Amino acid sequence: MASHARPRPAGTRVAGIRTPALATAALTSVALLSQTATAAPSTDDKPSLEEVEKKVDDLYRQAESATEKYNSAKEKTAAQRKEVDTLLDDVAQRTQKLNEAREELGSFAAAQYRTGASAPDTATFLLADTPQDYFDQTQLMGRMTDRQKGAVDDYISAQSATMKKRQEATESLETLTGSQADLKTAKATVQRKLSAARELLSQLTAEEKARLAAIEKKKQEEAARKAAELAEQQKAAEQKASPSPSETTQTTDSSYATKADKALAFARAQVGKPYVWGATGPESYDCSGLTQAAWNAAGISLPRTTYDQVNFGTTVSLANAQPGDLVFFYDDVSHVGLYIGNGMMIHAPKPGAYVREESIYYDGESAIHSVVRPA
């Protein structure tokens, strides 16, 4: 890059020493140049196109990681909301039983009042905070009929169960509130990262965008070359394998291949649909939403997030990857694709992109985390 520094003024020198007048002028010039440099930074400070590309890619990765956290929080929130609803319904039913038991005790009190029969002070019992303590008095319990004792037992049991369920509902509501806060935070993080990436891209000139596209094309060509190498390695490994595998292995491979074919057929039908973070279909998907839907079509219920999918099934080496396997990426396991063979996969790449077939080396060999066979 050409230097933007101005040439130094040529002053008159006498025996190698600048004359005082010229020296003063030189100092003034240096001061002005210094002020100009402070007011208007050099264009050399502008990040290179490669740096912009890396920053954008990093932001998209961070957004995808935040998306998986959002998916996890959303799933937990839904489950906890269902649990809260169940507990509240249970509390309502138990409260109804408690009221019925109270009414029955009240009817005993009314009957005893009408007949003048000697009996425990039921009205006092109904107002007591701790009915068990009240009825622990043997002399009072001894004056009750079996039916009255049964009513008291029912009341105490109903009250205890109701209080316990109310406590469970309160704790579950607190947990739900926390999950909702996590959901809100994850959503805000995704939106912030995507906005930052869009802002960086919007600042590029048309020429820079064209150069960026050329850089991306070169990366894709390298990824395709690596995929072809893997395909050759897998083909060579298959040729070296025993020509007569065991019957058990044949049955297992056949069963898996049948399910994998269904998952892959579904995934191929989604090619061209947009990536939308948090989406599970049918019109759009994020990465784990696509793999979940694909294997669901094959009768296998995958978990929702990459964090859980990576632990669902059997981990295999990349050299032994088969069509249908899940390929996970990055140290934080924030991305996943569906392996289709020959070093290629179907995946929902990132915001602004569409479901597509692509080399598993799309972001370099080091990005590959693991391969998992889910069935």
In the set 165, 347, 350, 369, the catalytic residue is: 347
Alpha-carbon gap, residue 294 to 260, rounded angstroms:
9
Alpha-carbon gap, residue 169 to 99, rounded angstroms:
19
In the set 287, 294, 327, 344, the catalytic residue is: 287
Tell me 160's DSSP state: H
Report which of 336, 346, 326 is spatially closest to residue 367, judged by C-alpha positions.
Answer: 336
Query: What is the full per-residue pLDDT of the chain (375 aa) written as tens digits?
Result: 444 444 444 444 333 334 444 344 443 443 443 444 444 444 456 778 888 888 888 898 899 999 999 998 888 888 878 887 887 777 777 777 777 767 766 666 565 555 555 444 544 554 455 555 555 544 445 555 566 666 667 777 777 777 877 787 788 778 888 878 888 898 899 999 989 998 988 888 999 889 888 988 999 999 999 999 999 998 888 888 755 544 444 445 788 999 999 999 999 999 999 999 999 999 999 999 999 999 999 999 999 999 999 999 999 999 999 999 999 999 999 999 999 999 999 999 998 899 999 999 999 999 999 999 998
Contact 315, 371 (CB under 8 A): yes
- Reply yes or no on whether 369 is catalytic: no
Alpha-carbon gap, residue 275 to 265, rounded angstroms:
19
Contact 339, 222 (CB under 8 A): no
- Reply yes or no on whether 254 is catalytic: no
pTM, two decimal places: 0.65
In the set 187, 335, 350, 373, the catalytic residue is: 335
- Counting every residue written for the chain, the total comes to 375
